[in-house]
Amino acid sequence: MDPVICSFSLPFRYAVHFTHGAFQPSNPLVRDLVAEQKPRRILVAMEENVAFKNPQLPRAAADYLAAAGVPASVHVLPGGEAAKESAAVVRELHRAMEAEKLCRHSCVAAIGGGAFLDVAGFAAATLHRGIPLLRFPSTLLAQADAGVGVKNGINFAGKKNLVGTFAPPRAVVNDLDLLATLPTRERRAGLSEAVKVGLIRDAAFFEWIEAAAEPLREGNAAEIETLVRRCAALHIAHIATGGDPFEKGSRRPLDFGHWAAHKLEQMSAFRLRHGEAVAIGIALDSVYAARTGDLSRAELERILGTLQRLGLPLFAPELRCAEELLGGLDEFREHLGGELCVTLLRGIGRAWEVHAMDPGGIRAAIGEREAREARR
């Protein structure tokens, strides 16, 4: 018997905005977004660390939205990677959204770092099978990378982001004023994702980072804004034009350095920030590529030197546990299924994908990194 075929497609479109003082009464951006979306209610989910660093923000957000004519409530919740380690914060958000009578014609406005946006996005995507989401990334890493994409999720069974959904936001608002309150370590950690995207997609962008490393390390506002804008644009371009926005295949072209980074985060019990682990993963995979002859030694020195001048770590004690780290390759493959796909370098701005990595070569790359670290 002939099947009955169901075939349809849905367009997705959202903007990533850049502004200062998003909830200042004189700033019309969020007011215009609310008028466009016409939500019945808004629940503001704010990471507690953001509220602590910006004590005026919860009241400012509530007053701004009230003036925009939309009933709103502000809920301050735990964030960071610890919030992703269980479903506790997701359940708390579900309870809050239900208590506030949110529906599919309401909206969640999530304000926080990448991990908090993952949690809030997952909660919004799963209540009523999807409540619209506005993202307000508060960290450099989130504004440049984690907060501008379509993924969200929580950790499960000791594996990063094992449970989650793909749910594009209605809009992303990068309030650059929030970066001014970041601790130095947090701000510098976010620089690694910009290095990553420059190395694999845009040699000119990497060269700009290379030249601006010192002011970026020190948090120069103009340089940071340029970096955030360019990095976010490159990530959005990949999502929109890469042909696989919901990762149905096995490719992970934007995850250079991440197979090791995800495992190092777990091995360090998340002592390492995500961006710090990515920097170490970039360094490790760059040494590996140089040892295979795909990357010149001169380019390797430029990469390692840039990461170092940005104030990023290039080594962690967990690297010495090579056999445990190598398990990260299997976890990387399992996350998408199918064959292993790891992005490596054939030069600055020139990436390619491999379907196997030599364990002996990885061990040798670790040894080279450890020897170099010992000489510092």
Task: Indicate if the pLDDT at residue 250 is higher than 60.
Answer: no
pLDDT given for residue 238 in this prediction: 84
pLDDT given for residue 241 in this prediction: 83
Are residues 177 and 195 located together in one domain of the fold? no
243 found inside a domain: no
Mean pLDDT of 286-303: 98
Q: How many CB atoms lie within 10 A of CB 12?
A: 14
Mean pLDDT of 120-136: 97
Domain end call among 123, 154, 181: 181
Q: Are 309 and 214 in contact (CB under 8 A)?
A: yes
pLDDT given for residue 243 in this prediction: 72
Are residues 130 and 201 located together in one domain of the fold? no
Are residues 158 and 193 located together in one domain of the fold? no
Mean pLDDT of 263-287: 96
Are residues 293 and 354 located together in one domain of the fold? yes
pLDDT: which is higher, 42 or 247:
42
Are residues 138 and 201 located together in one domain of the fold? no
**pLDDT, tens only, 318-344:** 999 999 999 999 888 876 677 888 999
Please spell the DSSP secondary structure of 335-375, one letter per residue: HH-SS--EEEEEETTEEEEES---HHHHHHHHHHHHHHHHH
Mean pLDDT of 55-81: 96
Are residues 158 and 212 located together in one domain of the fold? no
Q: Are 147 and 140 in contact (CB under 8 A)?
A: no
**pLDDT, tens only, 19-55:** 999 999 999 999 999 999 999 999 999 999 999 999 9
- In the predicted model, what is the mean pLDDT of the chain? 94
Are residues 191 and 319 located together in one domain of the fold? yes
Q: What's the domain range around 61? A: 15-181
Task: Indicate if the pLDDT at residue 17 is higher than 70.
Answer: yes
Residue 242 — very low, low, confident or very high, per pLDDT cuts 50/70/90? Answer: confident
7 found inside a domain: no
Are residues 260 and 170 located together in one domain of the fold? no
- What's the 3-state SS for 155-194? EECCEEEEEEEECCCCEEEEEHHHHHHCCHHHHHHCHHHH
**In terms of Cα–Cα distance, which of 112, 114, 119 is closest to 164?**
119
Q: Are 174 and 232 in contact (CB under 8 A)?
A: yes
Are residues 135 and 207 located together in one domain of the fold? no
Domain end call among 132, 162, 181: 181
pLDDT given for residue 160 in this prediction: 82
pLDDT given for residue 327 in this prediction: 93
The domain that holds 59 is classified in CATH as 3.40.50.1970
Q: Are 133 and 120 in contact (CB under 8 A)?
A: yes
The domain that holds 299 is classified in CATH as 1.20.1090.10
Domain count across the chain: 2
138 found inside a domain: yes
1 found inside a domain: no
pLDDT given for residue 157 in this prediction: 87
Mean pLDDT of 228-239: 92
Q: 214 — phi, psi (to 5°)?
A: -65, -50
280 found inside a domain: yes
Place of tokens 């909660």: 123
2 found inside a domain: no
198 found inside a domain: yes
Task: State the DSSP code for 74.
Answer: E
Mean pLDDT of 167-186: 96
Percent of the chain with pLDDT over 90: 86
Task: Indicate if the pLDDT at residue 249 is higher than 70.
Answer: no
Mean pLDDT of 194-216: 97
Are residues 188 and 176 located together in one domain of the fold? no
Q: Are 244 and 251 in contact (CB under 8 A)?
A: yes
Q: Are 254 and 194 in contact (CB under 8 A)?
A: no
Please tell me which of 165-174, 241-250, 366-375 the model is most confident about, judged by mean pLDDT. 165-174
pLDDT given for residue 251 in this prediction: 59
Are residues 42 and 65 located together in one domain of the fold? yes
Are residues 82 and 107 located together in one domain of the fold? yes
Domain end call among 181, 212, 232: 181
Q: Are 305 and 297 in contact (CB under 8 A)?
A: no
Mean pLDDT of 156-172: 91
pLDDT given for residue 275 in this prediction: 96
pLDDT given for residue 300 in this prediction: 98
Mean pLDDT of 94-121: 97
